Chains A and B, each alone.
Chain A
Amino acid sequence: MPSRRALIGGVAASVAAAVLAAPQVRAQTQPHVIVIGGGFAGASCARALKRLDRDLAVTLIEPEAAYLACPFSNAVLAGLRGIEAQTFRYDQFGDIALIRKRAVAVDAERRRVRLEDGTDIGYVRLVLAPGIDLRFDALPGYDEAAAAIMPHAWKAGAQTLLLRDQLAAMPDGGVVILSAPPNPFRCPPGPYERASLIAHYLKTSKPRSKLIILDAKDAFSKQRLFEAAWQELYPGLIEWVPLSSGGRVTEVDPATRTLVTEFGNHKADVANVIPPQRAGGIAQSAGVADQTGWCPIDPVTFESRLQPAIHVIGDAVIGGAMPKSAFSANAQAKACAAAVAALVRERPPAQPKLINTCYSLVAPGYGISIAGVYQPRDGLLAEVEGAGGASPLEAPLSVRELEAAYAEDWFRTITSEVFG
C-alpha cells in the first residue's frame, strides 16, 4: 500500500475523482479493488463487486471507449449483422471508477498497478481480465503486418470488417481458407460457426466458391452437429482438413496468400488465419501466466497460483474443463467477485458452482448449443458428471430455430447485464 495517504470523503464517486485527479491519494474508508480489462469478464466482475459490497471502491481500467463483442461477430462477417450491434460503450458504470488508460505493469509485492502515463494506484485485491493476445511469434510468416492481409478477426472490430470486406470483394468461384488453431483458444466452436456462416454467405452470394478449413486438431467442439448441418445445408462447399490429414498450417506467406502445411501448399483468395493465443499482455508482465502462456488459478477464488492478491478470470485462465467463452467469463466474474468480496472482509470464500452455455449459428435460424456445469475438483474446474453436453444430433428444425432465437436473446441479455 502507498506510504502517502490522505483521507477523502467516503463515497465511491469521490474516490473515482481522486483516482483520476491524484492517483497517489487514496480514501482510507473503502478497500480498493482494481479490475483490469472491460470485456465480458472484467466488466461483469466490476459490477458484481459493487453490487456485493457498495462500500468497496471499485476501479475498472480499460483504455477503449467501447467494447466490441466477439459473440455474433461471425454474423457480421457474413453480412447478416452490422458491427454497431456488437459495440457497447462504457457509459453505464455508475459508481465504478472508470480509468480510460492502459495498465502497463503490476507490482504484486507492493500491490500497485502502473498506468501508461506513469501514475500508479494501490489495491487490496486486483482482478485481471486481460482476454487474449494473438501470438505473432508462433506461426512463421504470421505477424501483425500479415494480419492486415490475412485477417484473424479473432478480436472483433477492424479485423472483423477487414475479413467481411475481403469476402465481399472476392469473385464467385474463389477459395476461402480458414486456419483453425490448436487447443486451447478463445471460443472453441468459433472457427466452425464462422465456417458455417461464411458458407451461408457463399451459398447465397457466390455459389461456385469453396471453403477449406485447415485444422491443427483432429476433433472440435459440437463436431457431429456441425458436420451433419454442413452436409445438409452446404453439401460440397466446406472441406475440413484435420491434423491427421495434413491440416496443421506450419507457415504462411501473406504476399501470395499461401498457407503451408506438411502435406503441401494452399493458395487462398481470402485467408482467415486464426493463430495460437495466450493470456493478454498484462498477465505476462504481472507474472500470473505460466510457461503455457495462460494463467493457473485456484478454482474456488480465481486467485493466481503464481502471485498473491491477484485474481484472473475469463479467457486468460487455465479453466480446466470450462471453455473460453463469454458466458464462462461472465459466470467466473460473478463467482470471483463473491470470493474477492469475502476475502477483502477476511471471511472464508464459498465453493462456487459455474455454468456455461455456448450457442453457435450454423445458418440464420439454425442454432446449436453446448452447455456444462462446473465445480472445483483436484485444483481445477471440473465438469459435473451427468450434466451438460451438446444439442441432440437428431432434432426437428423447430428446435434449431428455437436455439437460434435463444442465441440472439442470450446475447441481448448478457450484454445488457454486463455493459448496461
Chain B
Amino acid sequence: MTSHDMRRSKNRRGGRSLAPVLLAALMASAPAWADAAPGATACTGCHGPAALGSAIPSLDGHAADEIVTRMHAFRSGERNATVMDRIARGFTEEETRAIAEWLAKPEAARHAQP
C-alpha cells in the first residue's frame, strides 16, 4: 500500500464492524464519483467527449468559471438555449459552482484512483 492510499483512507467514516479482508479492500480504494457534485454525473448523458464530434458541445477542457458564467446566462435567459435554460434553472449558484468544478477536472481526474 502506498502512502497515498493511506492518506485517502483517512477520509472514510464508519467501518467499525468490517471484517479485516473487507477493511483491507476498503483502504485500497478511493471513491471518485461518490464525490461528484449532485447532478454532475447526469451531464454526460448529452455532453460527450470532444472526440465524438457532436452538435451538443462537449464540456471537455472548459474552466469552471466559464461553465458557471454560461449556466448563469442560461438561467437568466440572457443566453439563447433550446433546453439548457430549463435545466440550468434547477440548480442554485452553489450547486452550479460545484458541478462546474467537477466537470472542469480532466476526465481521468474525475475518476482518479490511486
Contact = CB atoms under 8 A, between A and B. Distances in A.
A348 B39 CA distance: 17
Given A348-B13, A354-B39, A416-B48, A371 B86 contact: yes
B1 interface: no
B102 to A, nearest CB: 12
A413 B31 contact: no
A357 B39 contact: no
Dominant secondary structure at the A interface: mixed
A413 B54 contact: yes
A399 interface: yes
A386 B89 contact: yes
A51 B52 contact: no
Contacts of B56: 406, 409-410, 413
Contacts of B34: 52-53, 338, 341-342, 347, 350
Interface stretch (A92-100, A176-184, A247-255, A387-395): A387-395
Contact of A354 (B21, B36, B42, B113): B42
B15 A341 contact: no
Contact of B29 (A345, A375, A387): A345
A29 B25 contact: yes
Contacts of A403: 82-83
A54 B28 CA distance: 10
A417 to B, nearest CB: 6
Contacts, number: 156
A217 interface: no
A399 B89 CA distance: 20
A387 B90 contact: yes
A49 to B, nearest CB: 9
Nearest to B99: A353
Nearest to A330: B45
Interface in B25-39: 25-26, 28-34, 36, 38-39
B33 A413 contact: no
A334 B35 CA distance: 12
A29 B86 CA distance: 45
Contacts of A354: 39, 42
Contact of B24 (A29, A54, A389): A29
B29 A346 contact: no
Interface in B4-35: 12-15, 17-18, 21-22, 24-26, 28-34
A53 B12 CA distance: 14
A37 to B, nearest CB: 18
B111 interface: yes
A375 B45 CA distance: 18
B41 A334 contact: yes
Most buried by B among A338, A372, A375, A405: A338
Nearest to B44: A417
Most buried by A among B13, B39, B44, B91: B39
Given A346-B15, A355-B45, A52 B52 contact: no
Contacts of B25: 29-31, 55
B101 interface: no
A53 B27 CA distance: 11
A414 to B, nearest CB: 5
A101 interface: no
Contacts of B89: 373, 384, 386-388
A51 B33 contact: yes
Interface in A48-67: 48, 51-56
Contact of A353 (B32, B38, B82): B38
Interface of B: 12-15, 17-18, 21-22, 24-26, 28-34, 36, 38-39, 41-48, 52, 54-56, 82-83, 86-91, 95, 111, 113
30 contacts: A51-B32, A52-B32, A53-B113, A330-B45, A334-B41, A338-B41, A342-B31, A346-B14, A347-B12, A347-B13, A348-B14, A350-B34, A353-B38, A353-B42, A353-B95, A354-B42, A355-B90, A357-B46, A357-B87, A373-B39, A373-B89, A387-B87, A387-B88, A405-B55, A406-B55, A409-B54, A409-B56, A413-B44, A413-B48, A416-B48
Given A52-B32, A56-B29, 16 more contacts: A29-B25, A52-B31, A52-B33, A341-B34, A342-B31, A342-B34, A345-B26, A348-B13, A351-B38, A353-B39, A354-B42, A357-B87, A384-B89, A386-B90, A388-B89, A403-B82
Interface of A: 28-31, 48, 51-56, 327, 330-331, 334-335, 337-338, 341-342, 345-348, 350-355, 357, 369, 371-373, 375, 384, 386-389, 391, 399, 402-403, 405-406, 409-410, 412-414, 416-417
Closest 4 CB pairs of A and B: A373-B90, A387-B90, A413-B48, A353-B39
